[in-house]
Amino acid sequence: MGFSEAEDCQGLLYRIIKLRLLRPVSQGVMEHALQHRERVGVQDFVLLEDYRSEAAFIDNLRKRFNENIIYTYIGNVLISVNPYKNLPIYTEEKAKLYYKKAFFEAPPHVFAIADNAYRSLVYEHREQCILISGESGSGKTEASKKVLEYIASRTNHLRNVETVKDKLLQSNPLLEAFGNAKTHRNDNSSRFGKYMDIQFNFEGAPEGGHILNYLLEKSRVVSQMSGERNFHIFYQLLAGASQDLLRQLKLQGRPEAYKYTTDMQSSVSQKASDAEQFRVVQEAMKVIEIGEAEQREMFQIVASVLHLGNVKFVQNDKGYAEILSHDANSGNVADLLKVDPLKLRESLTSRTIDARGDVVNTPLDMEQAQYARDALAKAIYDKLFSWLVSRLNASLAPKEKDPRASVIGILDIYGFEIFPKNSFEQFCINFCNEKLQQLFIQLTLRQEQEEYLREGIEWEPVDYFNNIVICDLIEARHKGIISILDDECLRPGDATDASFLDKLTQHLEGHKHFKSHRNLDSKTQKLMGRDEFCLVHYAGDVTYNVNTFLEKNNDLLFRDMQALMARSDNTIVGTCFKDSKLMSKKRPETAITQFKNSLNDLIKILSSKEPSYIRCIKPNDFKMPMQFDDKLVSHQVKYLGLMENLRVRRAGFAYRRTYEAFLERYKCLSSETWPNYRGEARDGVQCLVSVLKYEKEEYRMGNTKIFIRFPKTLFDTEDAYQLKKNDIATIIQSRWRGYWQRKQYLRMREAAIVIQKWVRRFLAQRLKERRRKAAQVIRSFIKGFITRNGPETPENRRFLGIAKVHWLKRLSTQLPHRLLDLSWPACPATCRQASAELQRLHRAWLARKYRLALSPEDKKQFELKILAESIFKGKKNSYPSSIGERFVTDRLTGEHRVLRDTFMASPSWPTGEQLIVSTSMSYFQIYCLKKSKTSFIKYAT
């Protein structure tokens, strides 16, 4: 093992010791060490001393929120406070901290809930469901995303899961685009309920999923409160679609151009965000395997809804509604939905009634026509959303059915809503929360009772508000609000919202959870309108306005429109509206009845699984980080039933842990159990209890767990442990350092021996290689010498090359330095031609060097000598002896020189003549020269 690897081992062991001794209280007792307890509160509300005080409960939440700790437990229920900012607590490294950890071994986190559910599913084969609840803006959708992200991360090592994980994760942006909207309370508010089943195979790998959707708020398609927006997809399409796509859909890229999207003025940053989200939606569609043809039809439906909202009616002379012939919007709707334009205009302005075989076409007035238009828009969008969910389910469905498969369900459903004006949608949402609260209380009490019974501990009954009375008030057969509403919708005659309210007052007067304007005192009557009624929910009083209750409950689409849409060439529209009941005379179920039935089915599904709970709380109404509104939080704590849950959990004992876990943490507090207890864990815990001097009423010993009644008892135990761990750490460190130093020395010694052995081997191999190469060089040199005069071979070629180099080096030191030195060094036979050429060049260089060094007089002498040679050589016997003599140009005596100079100065001297040689001659010599006509005379002339 190398040194770096050994250092890693040392660091790892130090970290293990540190985690064992310095980690927060195991099983979730504390978030930090005891000195931080007052600042960050407790991580499990069960450990609150004043657990009956709501103020203490909220104070603990506030402390943790101010320290950016947004998660807290109530037993196995997770409380999440929306921080309205990004926190670095969802990274891959953070997720790994919760892998295969006991539920309370790490600090509270949504990952802990997800991991606990996943392990229970895989190792104990118990199907799970995670119930996420809270009001709009509290972070429910984000919590469900984090659960999915954790499961994706947790199963990363398993085979063939990437595609399924991508589809599960990419289903979120699609559902959010078509089912979420901006409201006053939340920029990404879910306007539908969602229950997702994630199916796992026997290995624990996700292999598919299934989504159930509940009560899409389709009334938002045609109208929104001021300052709110329609569903995201409308704005994303207008901001992010290409110009070519907008042209095909006949759309302008401005939301304000359409009636259904005019309530919200989008800023530049908002439009950029919408455009980016549109690209995300398109990528998600590719992952879900929605083809280009299906995408185009989906966008055509969305665009048709926008155009439909802009269809305008005028009143004719008879008081009926008509569509102007030049109105292009109805034509655009017909083109996009691929239906007959005339039939569409006709269905928007009239309806066909079949009265006992007599078919009557009745024109619509302005109000009815606008209702028909909006009903069609809502129906089309609702059908599109349902089709999208079914399309997601088809893509998520596992390829093969596995009888060993199991599921984890995630319920992300609307929270309790109380607005200044509450209508039919809020009534349905709050009814759903009542049912879920009833299930929560039942399951929590049942789990608590079962654990006490399993452990042999006496159960003490707990007082709590059972909201079954409110559920019965709403859904009881024949006398509940739903039954009365359905009767009023289905009865013959002129039923109105006012008549519905009258019947409610008649049938429910006297019920302590129902209030109407008629049975209130005069002071309260002033606060409630005559068209309102009030229900006393478990979360507080909610006043509902009955206007549009009947209309929204009926939610009828004229048969003419249904039949027209069923004939649409748009595949999605045609498929969704082709209903086998289209020709049936039977009236379809009302919206509230359909919702009640689907909700009861959901309750059955949840009851069959082991539940985990995430309760989401929003700290303020302004979506601002680091702002904690005590009053708002108190209201949510109340309607989420958190205090009741805490009282149930604290019915008898605040803390319970298995004997093994308790002994593992606190064994250092007794010499009998430290460092290891060899007997049964229960006996070891009994020893600790005796040493710590627990009073009899402070604890109980169950079959597998110890139950501690008061948090103070546990805090005292933890404080003793915090003090003791320093001593234990010192002992462990001293033993460890001695052991480590000895082990490190032995490793270093062994490593040095190994290194020496390998170095010696390496040096020997390198010396051998050098000697081998040297021998090869000598051998090739000798071969080259022997064959130097033979044919060219690789050996003699190298030898001759070396010989040439050495000859050139030797020649450079033996070159002649004088021109008259004709000697030249000997050369190898192969260099003779080069030697001759070099000798020639060298002598030429010496001659040139000598020549350049001559003076003008010497140069003139040489020129004359050369001329003499050309004249006299071989013709004059005395020529060789005269070579050494220098030529003289003036051979006159002094007397003759005077005569010459006088003659040259006289006019008799020929003009232009030059004097070359001066000498004295006899007349006979001159005569002979003239007669000879030699080249000398010619040259002289």
Side chain identity at 501, as an amino acid letter?
A: L
Annotated catalytic residue 189 = yes
> What is the strand order of the sheet 540-545 is part of?
514-516, 532-537, 540-545
72, 144, 171, 190: which one is catalytic? Answer: 190
- Look up residue 58 and give its two tokens: 């909220």
Residue 693 CA: distances (Å) to CA of 658, 665, 717, 893, 896 = 20, 17, 10, 155, 158
Q: How many CA within 13 A on the CB side of residue 911?
A: 0
* Alpha-carbon dihedral sign for residues 331, 337, 341, 344: negative
Residue 611 bridge partners (DSSP): 129
Buried residues in 209-220 as b, exposed as e (16+ CB within 10 A): bbbbbbbbbbbb
Give the C-alpha separation, 304 to 376, whole Å.
11
Give the C-alpha separation, 14 to 21, whole Å.
11
Residue with tokens 């008259």: 820
Phi/psi for 801 (5° steps) reads -60, -40
41, 137, 309, 784: which one is catalytic? Answer: 137
* Alpha-carbon dihedral sign for residues 872, 878, 879, 885: negative
297, 322, 417, 475: which one is catalytic? Answer: 417
CB 306, CB 261: distance < 8 Å: yes
> Of how many residues is the chain composed?
941
Annotated catalytic residue 608 = no
CB 673, CB 650: distance < 8 Å: no
Annotated catalytic residue 186 = yes
116, 141, 433, 612: which one is catalytic? Answer: 141
Quote the distance between the C-alpha of residue 220 and its chain's center: 31
**41 phi-psi bin (left φ>0, alpha ψ -120 to 50, beta other):** left
CB 98, CB 111: distance < 8 Å: yes
- Look up residue 446 and give its two tokens: 């049942």
Question: Quick count: other Cβ atoms within 10 Å of Cβ 450?
Answer: 11
Give the C-alpha separation, 520 to 509, whole Å.
10
Residue with tokens 């005077």: 898
Annotated catalytic residue 136 = yes
Side chain identity at 457, as an amino acid letter?
A: I
Give the C-alpha separation, 472 to 512, whole Å.
13
Annotated catalytic residue 607 = no
Task: Spell out the residues 6+ positions from residue 491 whose beta carbon is closer than 8 angstroms to its own.
Answer: none
Give the C-alpha separation, 307 to 259, whole Å.
9
CB 566, CB 579: distance < 8 Å: yes
H-helix segments, 219-340: 232-240, 243-249, 268-287, 292-309, 328-337
Annotated catalytic residue 415 = yes
**762 phi-psi bin (left φ>0, alpha ψ -120 to 50, beta other):** alpha
- Among all residues, which ones are annotated catalytic? 136-137, 141, 186, 189-190, 415, 417
